[in-house]
Structure 1
């Protein structure tokens, strides 16, 4: 089984079982590539200070998961992730709205358990930032993640 992605309720940081780095707000972009090289998928540099690093090969709540880290001027500000549930209904190569709703419900339940609070429909605010799992109508997909303040 692939290593699991989990969140710490005290500071919203994420960890991957067996990997020593804590993914948290303010983490330097230079600290990430060597620690997560076996999970690396791609980089997208927007040329405006924002850069996204994408990774795969982990699980969240026991299901396959991919995640992306957002850096602004070299400092981590967000972590987005998606989960592939078993028997996901697909139409024309894309998850159906029902499958997306199932993913959102699963992520909210698991994220609520890990963060020890209920994740509200439009996200929940913490001293360290915000956590959410909601439907993105523009992308017609689930949108889940954490955004760090400060």
Structure 2
């Protein structure tokens, strides 16, 4: 399976996917993203209030399998959430264990540090162009990571 590596620019927060010319950035139109990333497209979900999400797979972050969801408000990109599937992540009843969540967070934070220069243990970091985060979601019992544009 061909995959695209996800890389975040420290200069403007644009998300680049290897092999694709379109960069995800603040305000990018939903139709343009769906068309340009069609081979990676998985599903669309309209919230009924102007917010819509496009989900994508066949992506990697730090060479690990990754999926991401691009969030749009009235058709304009506002944020991107992503999650990584580590090879030895432990599950209980189909859900990640606390240990697996912590391992994913540590991995994603190491990638954010390498790409953006964030602090290795930082749950979130603000930039002039927006915020990146990687933290535990206690309600969803999962890792929660992404980019929100200013």
**Coarse TM-score class (shorter-chain normalised):** over 0.9
Gaps of 5+ in 1: none
Distance 1:148 1:33 in 2: 19
Residue 21 (str. 1) matches residue 22 (str. 2): yes
Residue 145 (str. 1) matches residue 118 (str. 2): no
Evaluate the alpha carbon distance shift between residue 103 and residue 71 of structure 1 in structure 2; reply closer, same or farther with a 3 A threshold: same
Distance 2:107 2:98 in 1: 14
* Partner SS, residue 78 of structure 2: strand
What are the within-5 Å matches in structure 2 for residues 105-120 of structure 1?
105-118=106-119
Aligned to 1:128: 129
Q: Deviations over 1:19-51 (max 9, x none)?
A: 000101111112111111111111110110100
What are the within-5 Å matches in structure 2 for residues 1-150 of structure 1?
2-118=3-119, 121-149=122-150
* Partner SS, residue 4 of structure 1: strand
Aligned-CA RMSD value: 1.1
* Partner SS, residue 89 of structure 2: coil
- Kindly state the Cα deviation for residue 3 of structure 1 after the two structures are TM-superposed: 1.7
* Partner SS, residue 100 of structure 1: helix
Gaps of 5+ in 2: none
- Kindly state the Cα deviation for residue 52 of structure 1 after the two structures are TM-superposed: 0.4
**TM-score normalized by the length of structure 2:** 0.96
**TM-score normalized by the length of structure 1:** 0.96
